[in-house]
Amino acid sequence: MNKIKNYINGELISPLSDSYIDNYEPAAGKVYSLIPDSDERDINCAVEAAVKAFPVWSVTPAEERSKILLKIASLIQKNLDKLAIAESIDNGKPVSLAKSVDIPRAVKNFEFFATAIIHFASEAHIMEDKAINYTLRNPIGVVGAISPWNLPLYLFTWKIAPALAAGNCVIAKPSEITPMTAYLLSELCIEAGLPAGVLNIVHGYGHKVGKAISAHPDIKAITFTGGTKTGADIASIAAPMFKKLSLELGGKNPNIIFADCRFDEMLETTIRSSFSNQGEICLCGSRIFIEKTLYDRFKNDFVDRVKKLEIGDPNKPGTEQGAIVSKQHMEKILSYIELAQEEGGKILCGGNRVNMDGRCKNGWFIEPTVIEGLTHTCRTNTEEIFGPVVTIQSFDTEEEVIEKANCTEYGLASILWTENLTRAHRVSAQIKTGIVWVNCWMLRDLRTPFGGMNSSGVGREGGLEALRFFTEPRNVCVKIEDGL
Ligand code: NDP
């Protein structure tokens, strides 16, 4: 069986424990490869290699670092089909989605930060007749990157690329549930000539490898994407050590639909914003609020459209809904569907596990599910489910929907549908989320700040925010005797 290896000090090596974790293909419900069960000792070796590599990498001219990162981008592009198939097998997502979204975005992440670093400049503050202040922005040193399973290579590279571009050395851990494309990336980094120790990828469990990254004294900053509770665990270790932290956490995003919206466009996008990647995207809108006068029309057309979504083998081209990432996650989602019914919800469509035939007969599939009749404060409407489950609720006034939209502990993203420009700006300013999409969803400009408020996270990634996070600003104040 294919054994994944750690990438430490430029080499692909086995974990020191020599033990492995089963890696499942969700669509088939069976083990298809083995993942290193690494521990603190592997992290120590990785940090040692990174510390050794840092003095050279950190002073390598930005143009040189950029060239290597662009080479990695072009190798990802060259291997797009192979990586997309691997992502689909590992995660359960339709291969068409991996080909059109996940892997192209991994290419873009490297391209974006490889070029951004060439244009990155620091500030100067002039005190007319007294002094010049200028800011030095040096790489931090060795940094940690921990990423989740839902958009594996997409989010892994979103963290690694800016960290490397800024001149840091990186210790990275993909989710042990979806490690394959991170492993394939390590092969591409070797091919691209990335110097040994600059990037180290250590596979294994969060409570061992992730925890060791959080606790290692030589890792000075951590970028993490994942669940809110895990973010709090990492912060409880890293914050007292005064590490820099960027935490991108969970969400329970509202999708607010006013009656004056462009209906057809809204409906098509709402299908995507509800069920793309089986609803396993932190940015999916899982609470749909519809203005009362549009409610019945929306409900009929939406449910009709959801029922037609093609659930199937992720490797088939026409599949729109693939498998849920793990048995445990499938059970969690099903338990929320049960809870919704206990809380008085009515299932309008879906609600069940799907038993497939053929090679997917043991796979983990759930019907896309739409629920109505729940209060906005119930658990189903306030806790993150992270699956193909949405609720629909009606509203009368703008004030009412703003209050309902803001009533969870989360604040990641929101979606707003209206043709009234004034209202769009007014509501956007009052929704407490880090990202607001008006008449669109997942339209991403990588220069913009990305991240959530409240329990959805701390800090922003993307564009210059990421490069600022991965550098340490130092102010130098030079007194000028005779003025400028
Ligand atoms: P988890 O928080 O379970 O895991 C994320 C990563 O952290 C994994 O690599 C995991 O390893 C690791 N980890 C787990 N425990 C620890 C620990 N104690 N110390 C350090 N690392 C640890 O999230 P999921 O993988 O389940 O991802 C889904 C979550 O991610 C959802 O809540 C979703 O909203 C959020 N998310 C947020 C995004 C955002 O941009 N805000 C984007 C995408 C997802 P292991 O796999 O071994 O457990």
Q: How far is CA 33 from CA 39, 89, 174, in A?
A: 19, 11, 15
Distance (Å) from CA 175 to ligand 1 centroid: 7
Which of 109, 175, 453 is the best mutation target for the ligand 1 pocket, counting ligand atoms within 8 Å of the beta carbon and taking the most? 175
Q: CB of 306 within 8 A of CB of 350?
A: yes
Given a contact cutoff of 8 angstroms between Cβ atoms, the answer to whether 47 and 144 are in contact is no
pLDDT at 195: 98
* Nearest-10 Cα torsion for 307, 414, 236, 175: 40
Per DSSP, 316 falls in state: S
The 3 state secondary structure assigned to 403-419 is: HHHCCCCCCCEEEEECC
Phi, psi of 12 (to 5 degrees): -95, 115
Pure H helices in 357-408: 379-382, 398-405
pLDDT string in tens for the chain (484-residue length): 899 999 999 999 999 999 999 999 999 999 999 999 999 999 999 999 999 999 999 999 999 999 999 999 999 999 999 999 999 999 999 999 999 999 999 999 999 999 999 999 999 999 988 999 999 999 999 999 999 999 999 999 999 999 999 999 999 999 999 999 999 999 999 999 999 999 999 999 999 999 999 999 999 999 999 999 999 999 999 999 999 999 999 999 999 999 999 999 999 999 999 999 999 999 999 999 999 999 999 999 999 999 999 999 999 999 999 999 999 999 999 999 999 999 999 999 999 999 999 999 999 999 999 999 999 999 999 999 999 999 999 999 999 999 999 999 999 999 999 999 999 999 999 999 999 999 999 999 999 999 999 999 999 999 999 999 999 999 999 999 877 7
pLDDT of residue 129: 82
Which of 176, 248, 384, 465 is labelled catalytic?
248
Burial of 457 (0-12, 13-18, 19+ CB in 10 A): buried
Given 169, 261, 282, 360, which residue is catalytic? 282
Q: Which of 373, 174, 144 is nearest to 237 (CA)?
A: 144
Could you say which architecture CATH assigns to the domain 253-438?
Answer: 3-Layer(aba) Sandwich (3.40)
pTM greater than 0.85 (yes/no) = yes
DSSP state for residue 39 in the 8-state scheme: -
Look at residues 377, 143, 340 and name the one whose alpha carbon lies nearest to residue 252. 377
40 assigned to active site: no
- The bridge status of strand 369-372 relative to strand 253-257 is unpaired
Task: Tell how far the Cα of 5 is from the centroid of ligand 1, in angstroms.
Answer: 21
CA of 301 to the centre of ligand 1 (A): 35
The pick from 40, 177, 230 for probing ligand 1's pocket by mutation, whose C-beta has the most ligand atoms within 8 angstroms, reads 230
pLDDT value at residue 1: 83
Q: Please, which residues have CB within 8 angstroms of residue 100's CB and are 6 or more apart in sequence?
A: none
What does the block give as tokens for 439? 């008449």
Coil, helix or strand for 1? coil
* Edge-to-edge strand list for the sheet holding 471-479: 124-127, 131-139, 471-479
Same fold? 2-249+456-475, 253-438: no
Q: What angle do CA 400, 405, 406 make, to 5 degrees?
A: 100
pLDDT for 484 equals: 72
Angle between helical axes of 421-430 and 398-405 (0-180°, round to 10): 30
| DSSP state string for 89-104 | HHH---HHHIIIIIHH
Cα 368 from chain centroid (whole Å): 22
Structure letter (DSSP) for residue 121: -
Q: Which atom of ligand 1 is nearest to the CA of 456?
A: 41
Ligand 1 centroid distance, CA of 68 (Å): 29
3-state DSSP assignment of residue 147: coil
Q: Are 90 and 178 in contact (CB under 8 A)?
A: yes
Dihedral (C-alpha) 96, 98, 99, 100: value to the nearest 10 degrees? 80
Q: Which of 383, 357, 366 is nearest to 306 (CA)?
A: 366
DSSP state of 6: E
CATH architecture of 2-249+456-475: 3-Layer(aba) Sandwich (3.40)
- Say whether 248 is catalytic: yes
Pocket test for ligand 1, best of 282, 385, 386, 454 (most atoms within 8 A of CB): 282
Q: Is the dihedral of CA 335, 339, 341, 347 positive or negative?
A: negative
- Nearest CA-CA partner of 71 in 171, 161, 188: 188
Q: Which residues lie with the beta carbon below 6 Å from any ligand 1 atom?
A: 146-150, 173, 175-177, 205-207, 210-211, 214, 225-227, 230, 233-234, 248-251, 282, 384, 386, 412, 452, 456-457
For the chain, the domains span 2-249+456-475, 253-438
Residue 472 CB partners (closer than 8 Å, separation 6+): 137, 138, 139, 140
